[in-house]
Amino acid sequence: MTASRDGDLLIWSQLPAMSSGELDDIMLFHARSTFAVALAIHGWPLLRAGDDLDDAAAYDVGGPNVLAHKIATFEFFDRENGFDVRTPLIPGLPYDAIAREIVAERAT
């Protein structure tokens, strides 16, 4: 995989080997997840143009958009439980919308 930045957006490309059938689904899954962590550690944006965070909410592990959603979710719970969370904001991540989503899910 390769990545570049366009302001607050992530541009990532999969290498040809990733779609050639040479790699099994498990290996591709781990590659995307590991790449997402590496991007996050280095402060890169985790959202691509058109990423649907509604889809990301359903997963615990996945690519950069799933990791971004999980980070915002964990930070919400930490703040709610009195922790002083001092982390840089992930560019483009709708923290308030994710918090409202969590609160709405609890109400049901």
Pull the structure tokens for residue 20: 């050639």
* pLDDT at 54 > cutoff 80: no
Q: Give the residue-averaged pLDDT of 50-54.
A: 75
Lowest average pLDDT, out of 8-12, 29-33, 47-51, goes to 47-51
| Confidence at residue 98, expressed as pLDDT on a 0 to 100 scale | 93
- 103 pLDDT more than 90: yes
Percent of the chain surpassing pLDDT 90: 39
What's the average model confidence in pLDDT over 9-34?
Answer: 84
Check: CB of residue 10 under 8 Å from CB of residue 47.
Answer: yes
Max Cα distance, the chain (Å): 48
Segment 10-39 shows an average pLDDT of 85
- Read out DSSP for 51-86? --HHHHTT-SS-SHHHHHHHHHHHHHHHHHTT----
Please give the pLDDT value at position 18.
79
Domain locations along the chain: 2-107
Q: Residue 80 pLDDT > 90, yes or no? A: yes
Residue 29 pLDDT: 85
